[in-house]
């Protein structure tokens, strides 16, 4: 009997941990179910183990566990299960069984015949992906947003760290009129600032690209520039990205009756010319209200930070610890980077502390209560010291996934304590990523480390006691 074959694609906004954890979970589940599987990963370095036309043609079905665009058009005519990346980690067997039991719907792309499906397997399509029914709007919108965030992050991290490094030479080291001026520091700040200045345009461009493929890219980028220059900030960039994507979709519908021979003219001339004009017509009138909304949000967060650090810390800690790299975590992180770009170094300090704490909670628990963890868990716990120290929150997910109802509140508590103490101490972190690697540029570095350690150790003790209690009923297998 021929073994069933499934292909899959995984991807998360940062492309660091969730992507590969989901891929590994799917491979293990397929091995257990005696199924052949090939998983394509969309990580931060790009596409790895890419699916070929032959792979897709021979597959009995497709699993897409992703929070970013992975070009599902190429799976036209195949049974497709499309879920958030977290589902790929938590329930891989269920996803595979949906294919085996033929419960998954057949994926259809509007305007594409079955004969065209294989020819587009590894190519970009100008037409947007349109599944008939079954596609959840909330996940689709989130996936489009996260596609923008995932492409924006390298610009934010690279630029932010360079700007932070320039401060090592002095707070005013990039000012040619100040006695602290250093030419190399000025170079670092200028180059880093240029990277940081692309935050909003890149965000908007790749939201639009996720919606409308390549034609949306240029229109989204221009919309993002308009939002940035108009002072509408990242909220304006999000609006510009979605507006640009759906403007291109509208143009594609309006121009469908044009001769096929003019497809090239549409892509290189009509879409960019009309699209840029329309995004300008949409964004310019919206600049004033969106700018006001953006400034109001930033002002509110800044005021809460100074007047009620306890409340802000609890909110930030709960968001970062709740889904560890998911939508709530990313919402706090993106807000932090946006405030960082506007000179607010305090908010990101709490976000970073809350993101570093979860893997350290796990790591300390496996050290303090080692007899209540398996050898495999203890090894993973040691790795979490490295992951936590470098701001990679996702290392805690495998432990939380075993009993999220109990473990997630513990992690949220530890993260909240770390964030609250960070805000109370008034710590400033000028870099959006890097964890303890950016300690030399942190204002209040000792207090920041103390805050993170206190939150992590309290969470670790509570988690360890929980593991001790359940070990009485379930002996630990080495």
Please give the pLDDT value at position 119: 43
Which one of 12, 122, 320, 355 is the catalytic residue? 12
Sign of CA dihedral 328, 95, 143, 42: positive
- CATH fold, domain 5-133, is Rossmann fold (3.40.50)
pLDDT > 70 fraction of the chain, expressed in percent and rounded: 85
Give the angle 19-149-272 at the CA atoms, nearest 5°.
120
State both tokens at 17.
């941990």
Contact 176, 232 (CB under 8 A): no
Contact 366, 378 (CB under 8 A): yes
Q: Which of 168, 125, 150 is nearest to 66 (CA)?
A: 150
Lowest mean pLDDT among 77-81, 135-139, 339-343, 405-409: 135-139
The Cα 318–Cα 321 span in angstroms is 5
Q: Where are the domains of the chain?
A: 5-133, 136-197, 200-303, 308-471
Please say if the pLDDT value at position 222 is more than 90.
Answer: yes
Whole-model pTM: value is 0.66
The Cα 273–Cα 283 span in angstroms is 16
**Of 15 and 448, the one with more pLDDT:** 448
pLDDT band at 110 (very low <50, low <70, confident <90, very high): low
Strand ranges, E, within 5-110: 5-11, 36-43, 46-48, 61-66, 80-83
* pLDDT tens per residue, range 121-170: 444 444 444 443 444 677 788 788 878 877 877 787 677 677 767 777 77
Q: Which of 48, 46, 44, 74 is nearest to 62 (CA)?
A: 74
Please say if the pLDDT value at position 280 is more than 60.
Answer: yes
State both tokens at 293.
């909304």
The Cα 436–Cα 105 span in angstroms is 46
Please name the residue that has the structure tokens 């080495």. 478
pLDDT band at 268 (very low <50, low <70, confident <90, very high): confident
The Cα 188–Cα 174 span in angstroms is 8
Query: 61-66 and 5-11 as β-strands: parallel, antiparallel, unpaired?
Result: parallel
pLDDT band at 474 (very low <50, low <70, confident <90, very high): low
Please say if the pLDDT value at position 120 is more than 90.
Answer: no
Please say if the pLDDT value at position 219 is more than 90.
Answer: yes
**Mean pLDDT (whole number) for 242-247:** 94
pLDDT > 90 fraction of the chain, expressed in percent and rounded: 30
Tell me, yes or no, if 12 is annotated catalytic. Answer: yes
* Burial class, 383, CB count within 10 angstroms (exposed 0-12 / middle 13-18 / buried 19+): middle
* Burial class, 355, CB count within 10 angstroms (exposed 0-12 / middle 13-18 / buried 19+): buried
For the chain, give the mean pLDDT: 82
pLDDT band at 371 (very low <50, low <70, confident <90, very high): confident
């Amino acid at each position: 009997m021929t073994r069933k074959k499934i292909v899959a694609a995984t991807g998360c906004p940062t492309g660091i941990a969730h992507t590969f954890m989901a891929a590994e979970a799917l491979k293990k589940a397929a091995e257990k179910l005696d199924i052949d599987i090939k998983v394509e990963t969309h990580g931060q370095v790009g596409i790895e183990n890419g699916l070929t036309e032959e792979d897709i043609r021979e597959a009995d079905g497709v699993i897409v566990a992703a929070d970013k665009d992975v070009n599902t058009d190429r799976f036209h005519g195949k049974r497709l299960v499309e879920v958030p990346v977290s589902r790929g980690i938590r329930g891989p067997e269920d996803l595979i069984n949906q294919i085996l039991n033929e419960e998954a719907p057949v994926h259809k792309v509007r305007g594409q015949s079955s004969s065209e499906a294989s020819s587009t397997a590894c190519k970009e399509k100008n037409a947007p992906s349109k599944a008939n029914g079954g596609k959840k709007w909330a996940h689709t919108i989130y996936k489009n947003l996260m596609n923008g965030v995932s492409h924006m992050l390298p610009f934010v991290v690279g630029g932010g760290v360079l700007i932070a490094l320039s401060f090592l030479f002095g707070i005013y080291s990039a000012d040619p009129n100040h006695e602290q001026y250093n030419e190399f520091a000025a170079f670092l700040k200028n180059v880093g600032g240029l990277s940081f200045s692309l935050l909003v345009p890149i965000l908007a461009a790749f939201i639009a690209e996720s919606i409308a493929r390549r034609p949306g890219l240029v229109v989204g980028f221009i919309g993002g520039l308009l939002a940035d220059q108009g002072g509408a900030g990242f909220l304006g960039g999000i609006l510009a990205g979605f507006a640009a994507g759906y403007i291109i979709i509208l143009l594609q519908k309006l121009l469908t009756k044009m001769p096929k021979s003019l497809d090239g003219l549409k892509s290189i001339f009509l879409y960019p010319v009309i699209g840029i004009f329309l995004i300008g017509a949409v964004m310019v009138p919206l600049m004033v209200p969106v700018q006001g909304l953006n400034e109001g949000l930033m002002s509110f967060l800044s005021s809460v930070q100074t007047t009620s650090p306890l409340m802000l810390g609890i909110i930030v800690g709960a968001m970062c610890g709740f889904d560890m790299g998911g939508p709530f975590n990313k919402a706090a992180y993106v807000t932090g980077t946006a405030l960082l770009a506007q000179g607010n170094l305090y908010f990101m300090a709490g976000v970073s502390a809350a993101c570093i704490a979860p893997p350290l909670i796990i790591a300390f628990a496996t050290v303090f209560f080692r007899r209540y963890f398996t050898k495999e868990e203890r090894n993973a716990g040691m790795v979490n010291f490295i992951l936590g120290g470098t701001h990679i929150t996702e290392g805690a997910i495998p432990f939380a996934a075993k009993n999220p109802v109990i473990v997630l509140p513990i992690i949220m508590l530890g993260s909240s304590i770390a964030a609250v103490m960070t805000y109370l101490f008034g710590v400033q972190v000028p870099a959006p990523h890097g964890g303890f690697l950016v300690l030399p540029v942190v204002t209040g570095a000792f207090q920041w480390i103390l805050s993170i350690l206190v939150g992590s150790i309290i969470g670790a003790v509570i988690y360890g006691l929980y593991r001790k209690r359940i070990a009485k009923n379930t002996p630990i297998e080495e």
